[in-house]
Amino acid sequence: MEEQVKDTEITTLTDIPTGSSCIISKVHGHGGFRHRIMEMGFIKGEKVDVIKNAPLMDPIEYSIMGSHVSLRRSEADKIEVVALEEGFHPDFDFNGTIEAHVAREVENSAKTITVALVGNPNCGKTSFFNLATGLREKVGNYSGVTVSSKVGTFYHDGYTINLVDLPGTYSLTEYSPEELYVRDYLLNHHPDLVLNIVDAGNLERNMYLTTQLIDMNPRLVMALNMYDELEKSGDKLDVESLEKMLGFPIVPVVARTGRGVGDVLEKIVRIYRDEEGYTKHIHINYGENVEDCISSVKKLIDADQSLRDRYHGRYLALELIQGDKVITKSIESVPAFPQIKEAADSARARLEKEYRGDIADIVSDIRYGFIRGALKETLTPAKEDKRNLAYALDTVLTNKYLGFPLLVIFLWVMFQTTFTLGAYPQQWLESGIAALGRWIGGLLPEGMLNDLLVDGIISGVGGVLVFLPNIIILFMFISFLEDTGYMARAAFIMDKLMHRIGLHGKSFIPYIIGFGCGVPAIMATRTLENPKDRILTILTIPFMSCSARLPVYLLFVAAFFSRNQGLVLMSLYAIGILFAILTSLLLNKTVFKNASDQFVMELPPYRFPTVRNILVHMWDKSVLYLKKMATVILAASVIIWALGYFPRPKTEMTPAQQAEQSYIGRIGHAIEPVVKPLGFDWRMGVSLATGLAAKEVVVSSLGVLYDAQEVEGDDGTAGLQAKLQSVTDENGNAFFSPLKAYTFLLFILLYFPCIAAISAIAKEAGRKWAAFSVVYTTGLAWIVSFIFWHVGLLL
């Protein structure tokens, strides 16, 4: 390796011996490192005195801006300097006594841009190189062991540009000397900028290298060479959109004739001077599984300062997970190496098991998915490309006309199956739970314990447990759609529509999951790279009617809307979606003013998921729900039971009277003024309060408060339904009307999601946003219900 690239003739801080001084001309490196170093005072034009620089010894001690600091050798090596002659006056002043030639040298170095040309063989690098440097300046040759590169120097717009023509490669792995050479150059010889030359006529293959560069995270400009060929073929490329999605400048070029070469040089200077406005650093999203592995390895890497300075942490993590031998060896000396390697190895083993394939194939499949998605949105081929079977389905599934109707059909099938298929196990569970309650009730003597177990725990937790089959089936569908690759298509189809409301197609997946449960949905927003998109999605997820609201909907719809049940139910889902849209529009106009970014929607290849994987994913998601039952719902059931059970009545009372004089009744009466304007009584108020724990609890508390047991035998829900229908007000008229029932359902739909969802929001978006969500959803629910109730009364 060492011999491959001869050092370019730059002087860095490490070259300056003890007792000498120098002036900083340029700081290399990326992101956080650059920032930290510059904060310490290492900026262009500053004078540095070397206090102690012992060869082979770390760290080196410096004096800068009147204070002593020490830097690691690896850090000091990234600071380019101009040496000052011995005996130079120590307390000089940059503008005053400094010698003119030193100032000039500093200025020259700052005005020198080293640009590495990276691209596939035959993409036109040498043509570009000759055109840019050719007639103007000298061309030098640097050779390594087996491969070599050329450096050409020329002037442009007051800058000296060193253009390095690196060997052509298809990839930046460790499999050929060319690849190793180019990668080593990019990682260890800090060019100021990488110019990625791609063959515009063969974008899919050429951009593979680009995805690796994106992972590596240098400053990038892309030259779309052979643009003439692209134009001749009749293909259309939306360069501007592609630029916005990838986050760096892309310039059409014809290196053969020189068209666009000047534009490239201009972009290079602008990027170097940080003047290019909209550049952003994007991540290729490798999907939940790989991303989880990357972040666990990256966490260990980021704990080590020297690694963080040398590599972009995400890049290093990804390479280590892929088991790159050269890069693994290069970090061997780091103290945390054993842990890091162990984490990377186990991540690799996990992924290879999950995807049943080689790690290199997994990663490259996803990279091609990224390219595929980027090009699908920007490249309109003159004739449809049918070569790739893995993507053949896309011609139908993401078709301009068929895509959306097909998506609607798939979703309809998913929800329909969830509820019809789920109804059977739900009935079995219901009778099982009722039997268990009777058995325990008969087993134990009458009294508090009996009451706690049967009315508190079994009916409380049981009332929720019956929805587990629905949830499992819904999650099975979601896992299937994710694992086959269809979910990515759904996001793709929805992207344009979602942009209208200031969101992004990728938010669509969390929304779908949100129909199952808000907690995994909120966690699924991690795939959104833009914090604004994430927060917006998180805040609107609670408006997707989660499966916990369904029992409440079903109870009231069955009781008060004998006709059009399906329609009423659908209207609630639709109103939820409507409020999500309105909320998003509102927040976009107020809190998040800047326009939504364009992102690449990855289109991974379709695969046939294994049963095992679907089961594993389904289980992962269902576990959350089970946990919720074992914790929040269990605790809430006990608390609600206790509040309704105590204080014990002194005289004989009906259960309804007992409920009213209990603590829960007192709380209900206390909050009645708040819910009265909505047409609700204290019982409804209490049930809403208990719904804070989990929405399903509303049903069980209504059961207790309206004293459902009195009317019927075992079947709780049917009895409660009849009871609700027969409740009367003081005047003997029916208390519930369809209007009142619907108002109540609107409130259920919109208010405070549940404790679990709010704590998920706090974890993912911060406490401030969680507090906002509580106030916003509940306030909205109150206002909407108030308006609906009063307008309804008028009509």
| Residue 176 touches which of Mg ion, ligand GDP, none (Cβ within 5-8 Å per kind) | none
| Residue 122 touches which of Mg ion, ligand GDP, none (Cβ within 5-8 Å per kind) | ligand GDP
Cα–Cα dist 8/4, whole Å? 12
Cα–Cα dist 550/553, whole Å? 5
148 binds Mg ion (CB under 5 A): no
Which token pair is 772? Answer: 């906002």
**Residue 126 Cβ, how far from Mg ion at the closest point, in Å?**
3
255 binds ligand GDP (CB under 6 A): yes
**Residue 253 Cβ, how far from ligand GDP at the closest point, in Å?**
6
| Residue 225 touches which of ligand GDP, Mg ion, none (Cβ within 5-8 Å per kind) | ligand GDP
The three-state secondary structure class of 380 is strand
Cα–Cα dist 257/252, whole Å? 12
296 binds Mg ion (CB under 5 A): no
| Residue 119 touches which of ligand GDP, Mg ion, none (Cβ within 5-8 Å per kind) | ligand GDP
126 binds Mg ion (CB under 5 A): yes
Considering only residues 97 through 136, tell me which ones interact with ligand GDP, judged by CB under 6 A: 119, 121-127
| Residue 5 touches which of ligand GDP, Mg ion, none (Cβ within 5-8 Å per kind) | none
**CB of 126 or CB of 339, closer to Mg ion:** 126
Shortest-Cβ-distance residue relative to Mg ion: 126
* End-to-end C-alpha distance for the chain, whole angstroms: 83
User: Which of the stretches 122-130, 338-346, 493-501, 741-749 binds Mg ion when contact is defined by CB under 5 A?
Assistant: 122-130
Cα 406 to Cα 484, 489, 606, 761, distances in angstroms: 16, 11, 16, 32
168 binds ligand GDP (CB under 6 A): yes
**Residue 201 Cβ, how far from Mg ion at the closest point, in Å?**
17
The order of strands in the sheet holding 193-199 is 139-143, 148-156, 159-165, 112-119, 193-199, 220-225, 250-252
241 binds Mg ion (CB under 5 A): no
Which stretches does DSSP call E strand in 292-386? 379-380
**Residue 190 Cβ, how far from Mg ion at the closest point, in Å?**
23
**CB of 196 or CB of 225, closer to ligand GDP:** 225
| Residue 622 touches which of ligand GDP, Mg ion, none (Cβ within 5-8 Å per kind) | none
| Residue 547 touches which of Mg ion, ligand GDP, none (Cβ within 5-8 Å per kind) | none
Strands 159-165 and 148-156 come out as antiparallel
Contact 505, 483 (CB under 8 A): no
For ligand GDP, the binding residue among 60, 115, 118, 226 (CB under 6 A) is 226
Residue 341's identity, in one-letter code, is: K
Contacts of 527 (CB under 8 A, 6+ apart): 285, 287, 288, 291, 506, 509
| Residue 318 touches which of ligand GDP, Mg ion, none (Cβ within 5-8 Å per kind) | none
**CB of 18 or CB of 146, closer to Mg ion:** 146
Contact 236, 200 (CB under 8 A): no
Cα–Cα dist 70/65, whole Å? 13
User: Which of the stretches 118-126, 192-200, 319-327, 779-787 binds Mg ion when contact is defined by CB under 5 A?
Assistant: 118-126
Q: 699-703 — which CB contacts under 8 Å span 24+ positions?
A: 699/463, 699/551, 699/552, 699/555, 700/459, 700/460, 700/463, 700/464, 700/637, 700/640, 701/640, 702/555, 703/459, 703/463
**Residue 339 Cβ, how far from ligand GDP at the closest point, in Å?**
41
**CB of 229 or CB of 672, closer to ligand GDP:** 229
**Residue 283 Cβ, how far from Mg ion at the closest point, in Å?**
31
**Residue 210 Cβ, how far from ligand GDP at the closest point, in Å?**
15
Cα–Cα dist 793/319, whole Å? 66
Residue 284 buriedness (CB in 10 A; 0-12 / 13-18 / 19+): buried
Binding positions for ligand GDP, rule: CB under 6 A: 119, 121-127, 168, 225-226, 228-229, 254-256
Binding positions for Mg ion, rule: CB under 5 A: 126
